[in-house]
Amino acid sequence: MNQLSCFVQSCNEAEGGDSAVSSTKPVADATPKTARGRRTRQNILDAAEKEFGERGFHEAAINRITESAGVAMGTFYVHFESKESIFRALVSHMGQLTRRWIAERVADAPDRLTAERLGLEAFIEFVRQHRDLYRIVNESQFVAPDAYHEYYSEFAKSYQRRLREAAAKGEISQGDDEQRAWSLIGISVFLGMRYGVWDDSRPASEVAKGAADFIEFGLKPEAR
């Protein structure tokens, strides 16, 4: 990239846009091979989470992301091609981070029903620490619909596998694993919004127990 292209690109990004003058595009979005590179990429993603979460995709600017991350503009383009590129990467990253957070907290659950309660509690706690999650994910359905679809589909695939395994062990009843997975995801999403973002005054464990009772016993009064 020549000096003129660098200058025009920097001016364009300072206004929040993406460059269209670069004659060559760096290889972007690949996981760095060095620990330092991985730390830098993580710092950029953390800064992007804050920027996109507070301002939304269209008002977010790469120069503010780099300033917050403490990296040069050129370093940003080593890792990501554009604002849309890092937004897509952030949606995927948030999904991976959420699944890893939950998996670590349900790892010792003795059965599936206990895992449901612990997993929901963990999700609410995660949302409280990452309040921008909903804005970023919800906006992705308009900015990057495929990333939005993948975000929930990855959750559903993992959920279906866990439900199928639990049913095979006799921990839960047999049923439509796909339909059940999406239903349980819906419960988590809206309880996370209500008790993680809108109002976090109730203990996450209390919210999770109420939902777990519903999952286990349903609405029928004779089910208990």
Residue of 86, 75, 91 whose CA lies nearest to 152 = 91
Q: Identify the burial level of 103 via C-beta atoms within 10 angstroms of its C-beta, where 0-12 means exposed, 13-18 middle and 19 or more buried.
A: middle
Q: Which residue has the higher pLDDT, 208 or 12?
A: 208
Domains 3-80 and 86-223 share a fold: no
Residues in the chain: 224
What's the CA gap between 214 and 197, in Å, rounded? 22
Q: What is the 3-state secondary structure (H, E, C) of 122-168?
A: HHHHHHHHCCCHHHHHHHHHHHCHHHHHHHHHHHHHHHHHHHHHHHH
pLDDT tens digits, 114-149: 999 999 999 999 999 999 999 999 999 999 999 999
Question: Which amino acid does the sequence have at 155?
Answer: F
CATH topology of domain 86-223: Tetracycline Repressor; domain 2 (1.10.357)
What's the CA gap between 108 and 95, in Å, rounded? 22
Instruction: Kindly report the pTM of this predicted structure.
Output: 0.80
CATH number listed for the domain at residues 3-80 = 1.10.10.60
pLDDT at residue 27 greater than cutoff 90: no
pLDDT tens digits, 159-196: 999 999 999 999 999 999 999 999 999 999 999 999 99
- What would the mean pLDDT of 198-209 be, rounded to a whole number? 97
Helix/strand/coil percent split, the chain, to 5: 75, 0, 25
H/E segment holding residue 96: helix 83-106
Domain ranges of the chain: 3-80, 86-223
